[in-house]
């Protein structure tokens, strides 16, 4: 398992941050590596919602299909990445801090290629977490603007 973990402070209430997280198609505006995000099927929220994102990793487009496994509005959103390259659980946890939000973002990914993938995951921790931090900064900026 390769764990990628970032936290940040957002100058907006949890309800506003949640609204951005739950806006699947809009997430391509703040996720640095996402080029498109679409909902698969009619269900748009709650456990069982399925989403397909196209992300660019090192210039290569990868399709990432996810299923929502936890949905606690304004508190926790968890998905299960189901692809060959990107697999495993990931989640956002929101905690109120006065009128603002602390956001924790964790990706617990199962790398392909067994032990070799585990080593690669450790080597990629810093650059992947940098992408997550940049995405979190964009999310924070959007949440602050929306107010």
Q: Read off the pLDDT of residues 93-117 as tens digits, 9 standing for 90 and up.
A: 999 999 999 999 999 988 776 666 6
With a cut of 90, say whether residue 21 has pLDDT above it: yes
8 Å CB contact between 14 and 22: no
Dist. CA 20–CA 109, nearest whole Å: 23
Averaged confidence pLDDT in the chain: 92
Radius of gyration of the chain (CA): 15
Position 84 scores a pLDDT of 81
pLDDT in tens, 47-69: 999 999 999 877 789 999 999 99
Position 60 scores a pLDDT of 84
Dist. CA 41–CA 31, nearest whole Å: 22
Position 121 scores a pLDDT of 62
Alpha-helical runs (H) found in 1-147: 14-21, 114-145
Average pLDDT, stretch 75-100? 95
From 121, 126, 119, select the one nearest 87 (Cα to Cα): 121
């Amino acid at each position: 398992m390769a764990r990628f973990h970032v936290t940040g402070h957002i100058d907006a209430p949890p309800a506003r941050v949640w609204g951005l997280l739950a806006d699947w198609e809009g997430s391509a505006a703040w996720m640095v590596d996402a080029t498109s995000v679409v909902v698969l099927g009619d269900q748009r929220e709650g456990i069982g919602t399925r989403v397909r994102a196209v992300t660019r990793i090192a210039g290569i487009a990868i399709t990432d299909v996810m299923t929502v496994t936890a949905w606690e509005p304004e508190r926790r959103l968890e998905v299960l990445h189901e692809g060959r390259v990107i697999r495993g659980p990931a989640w956002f946890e929101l905690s109120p801090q006065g009128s603002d939000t602390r956001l924790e973002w964790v990706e617990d990914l199962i790398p392909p290629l067994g032990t070799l993938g585990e080593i690669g995951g450790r080597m990629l921790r810093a650059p992947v977490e940098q992408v997550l931090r940049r995405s979190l900064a964009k999310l924070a900026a959007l949440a602050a603007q929306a107010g």
